[in-house]
Amino acid sequence: MTALENIVNEIAAEMRLRTDRGEVASYIPELAGVHPSAFGLVVIDAEGKVAAAGDCDTPFSIQSISKIFTLTLALGKAGDRLWKRVGREPSGSAFNSIVQLEYERGVPRNPFINAGAIAVTDLILSGHQPREAIGEILRFVQFVADDSTIAIDEAVAASEQRTGFRNTALANYMKSFGVIDNPVHYTLGVYFHHCAIAMSCRQLAMAGRYLAHGGINPATGYSVIQAERARRINAVMLTCGHYDGSGEFAYRVGLPGKSGVGGGIYAVAPGKASIAVWSPGLDANGNSRLGRVALEILAKRTGWSIFGGDRPSA
């Protein structure tokens, strides 16, 4: 067993014993039934070696983690024009907050809060039918993960479509400022579907490799995006990826990361590893509670925090 496999196994064993798991998201009814004791962790290093433990092959709803992939696609389409529609500053408020939008005249703070992600989705949708845009996003995720079996959980998408009143409010509000170009229900349909992509930790860690390695898929050498763009997406993940918990995540873990209310977190150790963790119970900010704890231990034991400080302890 490699030193990294050892660390990953020990973290999974430790997380199994913890009882402070937080609450599974219930505002999307279809997510409420997920078992809180699930835990998965996968780390893929720069040589492509995979260290995996726990429920690492069980698909879960990636939810807001999908916003990394839509941001990548939208930047590819619009380049820096994207930043006219959406900012890149931490929000300091909840992921579905409405109040900030009024102060800022319908321009969302960043692409990872719901309003910002809906604006990004709208940009991807322009010039296409919703079905085509959903297909484009799914195919991109399948491509970067090198896995054509990745699919959308239609029951989750339908569940959110039925109950997504807040997201509907956010989208309508932005529409009133001209920030949304397409019919609101089209944009939201695409948004709910990409949030409902189901992936395992292993698939997610595979999919994000380009962010850990300067825009390049290290297995094929194929350039997915420019290095500068990967660096910037990582910067936005670090500052905004955990909503109002982003400061705490940087303080404790020290890696760019993006959470989702399905309990997943995708994290990057730049130049070193692509990491996915899943534990469905959430903290008050809607971020995976044990997912964060697991990443904190991982970063400490590997010495991977981008802020330095810890010596690796194998």
Q: Which of the residues are catalytic?
A: 64, 67, 191, 243, 261
> Shortest CA distance to 144 belongs to which of 199, 79, 83?
199
Query: Is the Cβ–Cβ distance between 258 and 195 less than 8 Å?
Result: no
Among 39, 60, 95, 140, the residue binding ligand GLN under the rule CB under 6 A is 95
Q: Which is nearer to ligand GLN, 72 or 167 (CB)?
A: 167
- For residues 160 to 179, the per-residue mask of contacts with ligand GLN, x marking binding by CB under 6 A and - elsewhere, is x------x------------
Site string for ligand GLN, 244-273 (x = CB under 6 A): ----------------xx------------
- 37-76 mask for ligand GLN (x: CB under 6 A)? --------------------------xx------------
Of 21 and 242, which CB lies nearer to ligand GLN in the complex structure?
242
Q: What is d(CA 42, CA 57) in angstroms, rounded to the nearest whole number?
A: 9
Site string for ligand GLN, 190-229 (x = CB under 6 A): -----x----------------------------------
Give me the residue label for tokens 């703070």: 109
Q: Which residue is nearest to ligand GLN (CB)?
A: 64
Looking at the Cβ atoms of 240 and 261, the one nearer to ligand GLN is 261
Check residue 45 and give left, alpha or beta (phi > 0: left; psi -120 to 50: alpha).
Answer: beta
Quote the least distance from Cβ 158 to ligand GLN, whole Å. 13
- In this structure, the number of other CB atoms found within 10 A of the CB of residue 80 comes to 9
Alpha carbons within 13 A on the beta-carbon side of 261: 24
**Shorter beta-carbon distance to ligand GLN: residue 167 or 305:** 167
Residues that contact ligand GLN, how many (by CB under 6 A)? 11
Would you count residue 279 as binding ligand GLN (CB under 6 A)?
no
- The amino acid that residue 191 corresponds to is Y
Tell me how far, at minimum, the Cβ of 13 lies from ligand GLN, in Å.
Answer: 28
Count of CB atoms within 10 A of residue 290's CB? Answer: 29
Beta bridge mates, 282: 23, 288
Taking the complex as a whole, how short is the minimal distance between the CB of residue 35 and ligand GLN, in angstroms?
Answer: 18
Tokens of 85: 């529609």
**Closer to ligand GLN by Cβ: residue 78 or 169:** 169
Nearest Cα residue to 199 out of 233, 156, 240, 159: 156
Residue 145: Cβ-neighbour burial (10 angstroms; 0-12, 13-18, 19+):
buried
Residue 29: DSSP 8-state? G
Is residue 96 at the binding interface for ligand GLN, with CB under 6 A as the rule? yes
114 interacts with ligand GLN by CB under 6 A: yes
The whole-angstrom separation of Cα 271 and Cα 52 is 19
Pick one of 208, 256, 257, 286: the residue that binds ligand GLN (CB under 6 A).
Answer: 286
- Which residues are within 8 A (CB) of 104 and not within 5 positions of it... i.e. 6 or more apart? 87
In whole angstroms, how close is the CB of 78 to ligand GLN at the nearest point? Answer: 22
Listed in sequence order, the residues at least 6 apart from 248 whose beta carbon sits closer than 8 Å to its beta carbon are 242
4 or 261: CB nearest ligand GLN = 261
3-state secondary structure of 277: strand
Binding site for ligand GLN (CB under 6 A): 63-64, 95-96, 114, 160, 167, 195, 260-261, 286
